[in-house]
Amino acid sequence: MQDLQEKAILVSVFLNEKDEKSLQELEELAKTAGAEVVGVLTQKRKNIDKTYYLGKGKIEELKNLIEQKGANIVIFNNELSGSQVKNIEDILNTKVIDRTNLILDIFAKHAKTKEGMLQVKLAQLKYSLTRLRGIGVTLSRLGGGIGTRGPGETQLETDIRHIKRSILHIEKQIEEIKQHRSLYRKRRQKNQIPVVAIIGYTNAGKSTLINALTNADAYVENKLFATLDPLARKLRLPNNKIVLLIDTVGFIKNLPHQLIEAFKSTLEEIKFADLILNVVDISQNDYEEKIKVTEKILSDLECFNKPVITVYNKSDLLETLPKNTDKEVYISARYKTNLHDLVFCIQNALESGNKSL
């Protein structure tokens, strides 16, 4: 995104009722990226148009909306193919990005460590590669003419080779960092320092919880993906043992597969953790659906049979506070409510090693 605030129109096809909720999340993502949302256009369809995403009539309606609102960027709520982006931009004469591109942009904005920046760059390159290939297929089908042969295709092939070389170079650097982390992990295991991975939907309050538990000063902001790079803090339990709390990148519905692949080396910390804290924003109406998203990503990461404590954060916003159990703890990280109970749950889970938690 540019420093000058861009005026965005959000576009979504509603295939079912759940898509309407995801549009609200797209607006949050756009604001996090620094855009001003000036308009929204939706269409109910049975399927997404392969050429223009929307129906041809809706594309014309979108073009008029862009002119009315003075928008300079259109953000689509689904992943677009390279050919779709090209077709839409040809009609709108306006910059077009999709949800995946938007999330990648936010990650690039928030990455601070060398590894974080490398992982984001890797995801961006893989995303660009699929888009170039899609456009290449489109050009080859045109059957000739200006821009479809000779130097045009040669330049496209050159771009693809360059991206592939860059991907290999970055993957090599990430592998070196991964090996370093592996050695560090073995040292922790040798010293018998348990690891507690803090996971959850983006903006659920993971960094605030780490700060509250350890009196640290992790970066906290009320935006999606405010924390990107993994954070580790020591916590002393009531039995005087030390555990390592590891913050992780926030999850989100339809997290781009390029990001999951790129961040696998970092997300391995979850896989090798002794205990997982799944932080949930209980004040959100769709918190149960967000739990399912988190569980799906854990499954994709092959984090099976891990003891999990569900930590319901922002419980100060509830009218009545449910009773805490070994599996579920209701807290307020902001006001440090029930953190004592949570710490004892962590201690009991680690001592019992009970994988049925």
Note the pLDDT tens digit of each residue in 217-257: 544 455 555 454 557 888 999 999 999 998 887 888 877 77
41 or 112, higher pLDDT: 41
Q: Is 145 annotated as a binding residue?
A: no
Per the DSSP assignment, residues forming a β-bridge with 9 are: 39, 74
Is 226 annotated as belonging to a binding site? yes
Neighbour-count burial of 16, counting CB atoms closer than 10 A to its CB (0-12 exposed, 13-18 middle, 19+ buried): exposed
Q: Which residue in 279, 260, 285, 262 sits closest to 207, CA to CA?
A: 279
Contact 84, 137 (CB under 8 A): no
Rounded Cα distance, 113 and 121, in Å: 12
CA atoms of 255 and 145, how far apart (whole Å): 39
On whether the CB atoms of residues 207 and 16 are closer than 8 A, the answer is: no
206 is in an annotated binding site: yes
The two three-digit tokens of residue 173, written as one number: 């650097």
pLDDT band at 135; cut points 50, 70, 90: low
What pLDDT score was predicted for residue 3? 55
Contacts of 117 (CB under 8 A, 6+ apart): 108, 111
Annotated binding residue 334: yes
Tokens of 65: 């909306």
Region 98-121: mean pLDDT is 86
* Predicted local distance difference test score (pLDDT) of residue 196: 94
Distance CA 6, CA 33 (A): 10
Copy the structure tokens of residue 184: 């560090």
- The answer, yes or no, to whether residue 77 has pLDDT greater than 70, is yes
316 is annotated as contributing to ligand binding = yes
Separation CA 195–CA 242 (nearest Å): 9
Q: Per mean pLDDT, which range of 90-99, 108-117, 270-279, 315-324 is the poorest?
A: 108-117
207 among annotated binding-site residues: yes
263 annotated to bind ligand: no
Tell whether 250 is in a known binding site: yes
Strands 308-313 and 275-281: parallel
Flag whether 200 is marked binding: yes
Phi-psi region for residue 237, left (φ > 0), alpha (ψ -120 to 50) or beta?
Answer: beta
Residue 228 is assigned to a ligand binding site: yes
Contacts for 140 with CB less than 8 Å, ≥ 6 apart: 148, 153
Give pLDDT tens digits for 250-298: 888 877 777 777 777 667 788 889 999 999 999 998 899 999 988 888 8
What tens digit of pLDDT does each residue of 171-217 get?
Answer: 999 888 888 877 877 877 777 889 999 999 988 999 889 989 988 65
Please check if 83 is assigned to a binding site. Answer: no
In terms of average pLDDT, the best of 88-102, 140-154, 266-280 is 88-102
- Taking alpha carbons only, the member of 22, 1, 12 closest to residue 252 is 22
313 annotated among ligand-binding-site residues: yes
Q: Is 204 annotated as a binding residue?
A: yes
The answer to whether 315 is a known ligand-binding residue is: yes
Q: What is the largest CA-CA distance in the chain?
A: 76
